[in-house]
Amino acid sequence: MNNTEYPLTPSQISSYQRDGYIQLNDVITGDDLVAFRDAVEEGVKEDTKDLDPNRVKGSYEQIFIQCVNLWHRYPKVKPFVLSPRLAKIAARLMGTPVRIWHDHALFKEPHTGAKTPWHQDTPYWPHEQKMHQLTIWVALRDATIQNGCMSFIPTTHRMLDIEPVNLGNPQDLFDVAPQTKGLKPVTCELKAGSVTIHNGMTFHYAGPNRSDGMREVIAIIYMPDGTTYLKVPHPVTDPMKLTQGVKMDQDMFPLVAT
């Protein structure tokens, strides 16, 4: 993996901090992109090999195939998720040292992958501090309007205490967050190896996959070093039996950039 520092400019950092999202092109290229894509594809295939293809899918499963924390189980994925190149981008945009929260592959199936409703991320997470978490959303193959690329509503990362959206049975955005009326969404098509990065409080959306191919993405989520645990249900932390208020500095959440 190319671990040289990505040439992030002061203007890009200011843009992210103002708008709550940014697009960066050609972050992962060449052989690294091929190896990353192959590793994630293999992990998703292994994770889902025992699923019945004829099963009735729930409303959430209709949105995408989701596989969480591939880096824990698949050694080929690990160096990419823990990449200093990506982590340094996160740290510079956040302005703090960063730890991995988790990764998750998000594959939208051709013709059947439904839209991902407008939502914020951080309200679902067991973190007491909810301001600076961010996601680097890596397009492993081209992400287009046709196959479900991301859209963002700028400046909404400042909108706190909004009711979390039920992704399986979503409410209308304006019912949940009427303060978003009049704000214009921005859609970001990506070629493979490019990324979008969004603050965990930024409202975002991905359309359905109407193409003939799988939309292949892996999201790597970072949290500030020093984040403490909020005792609410979450599949990543439930098995750990953490104590309310403890720092999330366990081996599962490695420090990746200072």
Query: What's the one-letter identity of residue 36?
Result: F
* Residue labelled with tokens 């997470």: 125
Q: What is the pLDDT of residue 172?
A: 86
CA angle 188, 191, 196 (to 5 degrees): 40
How many Å separate Cα 17 from the centre of its chain?
17
Write down the pTM of the prediction.
Answer: 0.95
Q: What is the pLDDT of residue 206?
A: 96
Q: What is the pLDDT of residue 113?
A: 73
Determine the 3-state secondary structure of 117 from DSSP: strand
Domains of the chain in start order, with CATH, are 10-49+57-257 (2.60.120.620)
Query: What's the one-letter identity of residue 47?
Result: D
Q: pLDDT tens track of the chain, all 258 residues?
A: 889 999 999 999 999 999 999 999 999 999 999 999 999 999 999 999 887 776 666 666 667 899 999 999 999 999 999 999 999 999 999 999 999 999 999 999 999 878 899 999 999 999 999 999 999 999 999 999 999 999 999 999 999 888 888 877 777 888 889 999 999 999 999 999 999 999 999 999 999 999 999 999 999 999 999 999 999 999 999 999 999 999 999 999 999 999
3 and 85 Cβ atoms separated by less than 8 Å: yes
Determine the 3-state secondary structure of 153 from DSSP: coil
Q: In b/e form, how buried is each residue of 49-75, taking b as 16+ CB within 10 angstroms?
A: eeeeeeeeeeeeebbbbebebbbeebe
